[in-house]
């Protein structure tokens, strides 16, 4: 077997004169008057090999039978190309290989799509033939970058004294959070393991266990209703530390992110990252993951229109809602259709409507203008910095709805006006998340992050008076409008944990039923601790400029949680189910229904 001495894509003029053996796939073959040119491709790139009766001997006839995607081994000499045949688009474009020996390592059927980047292929075909899709330079580059990113995370964390600890995949079903994937036990009849939604409990137990600094690039599982941007299994860089403050941890993580971006894509991040409170993020950008690559903030105008003749403004203000405005700078020229489309747009985000005013030739125009008092117009002009050509939009509703509507409108306008620089990477920390959220269905508070999230010290007293106001020592790291990580400091004192469970409507006894092992552990000297997890799939997606998580995963599942390549999930043998003490309960199929008598 002729095994490679060099890679295809890295040969340059420096190698001229060398005899090399290359292994790779046929990218393209051309026969120019009895001289055969084969572009040979491996992981590193493409190089042109030449078969000429003058120097190739029998190799020419053998090469002539090769077709696209055949696997070849060739030996030959690196020579300089004639000036007129130099290919500037190819890293190896200044040289070619004069082949003297060849071995056809394997033949290939014609692939269902060409192995190149620019081609349009249906994604389901790409997933079915993922092993061919992975040959495309774009996919190779992505997987290579992903591997490199993992390595950078590891190198950095290792250097900071974090210990890589593996936690179980076969674990226990958790009482809160998303749906678990379950695994029936053969040995323990009627019992089930669950796949972890995250190593949360284990990483806290490791802190109790004195590991002090833990990390793991961990597979996590959520049996959620899938959206385009979700996978049933995903990977997070999971980090937990004892004896560090939130500030120390966030500072360290910024350094980590800076190194990641520098060493993968050569981008230098500005440090420190902007820190913005949850409250400010919602108020100014209508989102807890604001895209800060452009400005255009949302303004609260409830005070200005509280007694307005615009009835919806006044009534919303009176009933405890908010009225906010967003000035779509320079969008005053929007057509009637574009303005009309604002209503369904608002509806998509739960809004009942979107009032608008255009400023054209110094005049305010729009359905609500006639109801505005001069002093209101003056106040709006100042607060919204209204100028000729602007489009003012108004949403009046509950705080969350207003934020969703105007936050998304802000993004739409930012994109349409070309304000978003795709080459920019704008990180920020969103901090001071609320500890608790009110669940209207259950009529009780629920943990916004999880029941072990530490409240801010200065807010602990609010457990007795106004739990909904408590801010948590919880933080997200956002990048260009995406949440790429998040975490919190954890409760480590029993009295605070008791207050937390009380606020959630649990007695300590009830909490023990759900979290017994962790609460037991907390009794034995728990250090102050906290952590964070980064979404690796999403980070790689942003680093490579892709728009779909599936592009970052070697063997992803579709939006309906199917592996098209392996054809999984699939039916299994009845005997397998019997061993696991389960049977399937299938809905009767319509055609199997009994005919009515």
Identify the residue among 13, 86, 131, 350 touching a copy of itself (CB under 8 A).
131
Judged by CB under 8 A, the stretch of 10-18, 129-137, 378-386, 431-439 that binds a copy of itself is 129-137
Backbone region of residue 366 per phi and psi (left: phi > 0; alpha: psi in -120 to 50; beta: other values) = left
Helix (H) / strand (E) element for 30: namely strand 19-32
Tell me how far apart the alpha carbons of residues 220 and 235 are, in angstroms, rounded to a whole number.
6
Tell me how far apart the alpha carbons of residues 277 and 429 are, in angstroms, rounded to a whole number.
8
Tell me how far apart the alpha carbons of residues 240 and 35 are, in angstroms, rounded to a whole number.
62
Judged by CB under 8 A, the stretch of 130-138, 256-264, 310-318, 424-432 that binds a copy of itself is 130-138
Tell me how far apart the alpha carbons of residues 452 and 493 are, in angstroms, rounded to a whole number.
10
CB of 17 to a copy of itself, least distance (A): 23
Q: How many amino acids of this chain bind a copy of itself (CB under 8 A)? A: 121
The answer to whether the annotation marks 457 as part of a ligand binding site is no
Our finding on whether 141 is near a copy of itself (CB under 8 A) is: no
Judged by CB under 8 A, the stretch of 92-100, 119-127, 331-339, 559-567 that binds a copy of itself is 559-567
Interface with a copy of itself in residues 42-101 (CB under 8 A): 42-43, 69-71
What angle (nearest 5°) sits at the alpha carbon of residue 224, between those of residues 221 and 228? 100
- Burial class from Cβ neighbours inside 10 Å (0-12, 13-18, 19+) for residue 346 reads buried
The residue (of 342 and 540) whose beta carbon lies closer to a copy of itself is 540
Our finding on whether 441 is near a copy of itself (CB under 8 A) is: no
Our finding on whether 12 is near a copy of itself (CB under 8 A) is: no
Of 416, 359, 421, the residue nearest 393 (C-alpha): 359
Identify the residue among 62, 63, 102, 208 touching a copy of itself (CB under 8 A).
208
Our finding on whether 14 is near a copy of itself (CB under 8 A) is: no
CB 356 within 8 A of CB 380: no
The answer to whether the annotation marks 449 as part of a ligand binding site is yes
Interface with a copy of itself in residues 219-278 (CB under 8 A): 219, 221, 223, 226, 232-233, 235, 242-245, 248
Our finding on whether 452 is near a copy of itself (CB under 8 A) is: no
Identify the residue among 89, 319, 423, 560 touching a copy of itself (CB under 8 A).
560
Tell me how far apart the alpha carbons of residues 369 and 364 are, in angstroms, rounded to a whole number.
7
The answer to whether the annotation marks 520 as part of a ligand binding site is no
Interface with a copy of itself in residues 487-516 (CB under 8 A): 492-493
Our finding on whether 593 is near a copy of itself (CB under 8 A) is: no
CB of 87 to a copy of itself, least distance (A): 21
Tell me how far apart the alpha carbons of residues 307 and 383 are, in angstroms, rounded to a whole number.
17
CB of 30 to a copy of itself, least distance (A): 19
Quote the longest CA-to-CA distance of the chain.
Answer: 94
The answer to whether the annotation marks 176 as part of a ligand binding site is yes
Catalogue the E-assigned strands of 159-314. 163-164, 182-184, 192-194, 213-221, 233-242, 274-277, 298-300
The answer to whether the annotation marks 224 as part of a ligand binding site is yes
Cα distances from 134 to residues 61, 90, 375, 444, 548, in angstroms, run: 30, 20, 64, 49, 16
Identify the residue among 79, 105, 339, 379 touching a copy of itself (CB under 8 A).
105
Nearby residues of 507 by Cβ (< 8 Å), 6 or more positions away: 501
Q: Beta strand 95-106 with 45-51: parallel, antiparallel or unpaired?
A: parallel
Identify the residue among 48, 167, 236, 480 touching a copy of itself (CB under 8 A).
167
Identify the residue among 205, 312, 396, 472 touching a copy of itself (CB under 8 A).
205
Our finding on whether 124 is near a copy of itself (CB under 8 A) is: no
Tell me how far apart the alpha carbons of residues 382 and 377 are, in angstroms, rounded to a whole number.
9
Identify the residue among 17, 33, 362, 525 touching a copy of itself (CB under 8 A).
525
CB of 75 to a copy of itself, least distance (A): 13
Judged by CB under 8 A, the stretch of 32-40, 139-147, 257-265, 414-422 that binds a copy of itself is 139-147
Interface with a copy of itself in residues 333-372 (CB under 8 A): none
CB of 148 to a copy of itself, least distance (A): 8
- How remote is the C-alpha of 409 from its chain's centroid? 22
Cα distances from 339 to residues 88, 328, 349, 395, in angstroms, run: 49, 12, 16, 14
The answer to whether the annotation marks 67 as part of a ligand binding site is no
């Amino acid at each position: 077997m002729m095994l490679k001495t060099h890679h295809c894509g890295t040969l340059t003029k420096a190698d001229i004169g060398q005899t090399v053996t290359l292994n790779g796939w046929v990218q393209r073959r051309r026969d120019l008057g009895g001289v055969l040119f084969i572009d040979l491709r491996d992981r590193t790139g493409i190089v042109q090999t030449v078969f000429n009766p003058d120097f190739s001997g029998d190799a020419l006839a053998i090469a002539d039978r090769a077709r696209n995607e055949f696997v070849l081994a060739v030996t030959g000499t690196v020579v300089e190309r004639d000036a007129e045949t130099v290919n500037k688009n190819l890293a190896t474009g200044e040289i070619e290989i004069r082949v003297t020996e060849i071995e056809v390592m394997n033949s290939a059927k014609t692939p269902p799509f060409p192995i190149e980047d620019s081609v349009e292929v249906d994604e389901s075909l790409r997933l079915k033939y993922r092993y061919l899709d992975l040959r495309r330079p774009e996919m190779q580059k992505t997987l290579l970058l992903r591997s490199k990113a993992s390595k950078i995370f590891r190198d950095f964390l290792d250097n900071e004294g974090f210990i890589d600890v593996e936690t179980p995949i076969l674990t226990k079903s958790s009482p809160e959070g998303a749906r678990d994937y379950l695994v029936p036990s053969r040995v323990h009849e009627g019992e089930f393991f669950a796949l972890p939604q995250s190593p949360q409990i284990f990483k806290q137990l490791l802190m109790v266990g004195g590991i002090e600094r833990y990390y793991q690039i961990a597979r996590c599982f959520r049996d959620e209703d899938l959206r385009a941007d979700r996978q049933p299994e995903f990977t997070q860089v999971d980090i937990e530390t004892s004896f560090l403050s939130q500030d120390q941890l966030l500072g360290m993580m910024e350094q980590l992110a800076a190194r990641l971006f520098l060493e993968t894509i050569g981008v230098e991040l500005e440090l420190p990252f902007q820190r913005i409170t949850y409250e400010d993020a919602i108020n100014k950008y209508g989102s807890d993951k604001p895209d800060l690559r452009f400005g255009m903030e949302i303004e609260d105008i409830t005070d200005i229109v509280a007694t307005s003749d615009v009835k919806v403004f006044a009534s919303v203000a009176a009933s405890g809602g908010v009225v906010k405005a967003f000035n779509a700078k320079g969008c005053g020229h929007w057509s009637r259709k574009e303005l009309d489309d604002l209503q369904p747009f608002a509806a998509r985000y739960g809004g009942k409507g979107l009032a608008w005013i255009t400023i054209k030739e110094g005049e305010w125009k729009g359905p609500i203008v006639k109801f505005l008092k001069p002093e209101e117009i003056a106040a709006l002009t100042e607060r919204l910095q209204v100028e000729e050509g602007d489009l003012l939009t108004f949403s009046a509703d509950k705080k969350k709805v207003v934020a969703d509507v105007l936050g998304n409108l802000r993004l739409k306008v930012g994109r349409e006006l070309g304000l978003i620089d795709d080459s920019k990477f704008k990180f920020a920390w969103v901090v001071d998340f609320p500890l608790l959220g009110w669940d209207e269905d259950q009529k009780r508070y629920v943990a916004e992050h999880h029941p072990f999230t530490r409240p801010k010290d200065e807010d602990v007293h609010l457990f007795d008076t106004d739990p909904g106001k408590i801010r948590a020592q919880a933080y997200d790291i956002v990048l260009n409008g995406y949440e790429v990580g998040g975490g919190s400091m954890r409760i480590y004192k029993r009295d605070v944990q008791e207050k937390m469970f009380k606020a959630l409507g649990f007695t300590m006894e009830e909490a023990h039923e759900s979290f017994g092992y962790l609460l037991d552990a907390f009794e034995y000297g728990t250090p102050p601790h906290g952590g964070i997890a980064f979404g690796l799939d999403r980070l790689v997606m942003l680093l490579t400029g892709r728009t779909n998580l599936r592009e970052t995963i070697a063997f992803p599942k579709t939006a309906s949680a199917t592996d098209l390549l392996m054809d999984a999930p699939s039916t299994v043998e009845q005997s397998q189910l019997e061993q696991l003490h389960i049977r399937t309960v299938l809905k009767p199929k319509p055609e199997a229904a009994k005919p009515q008598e």
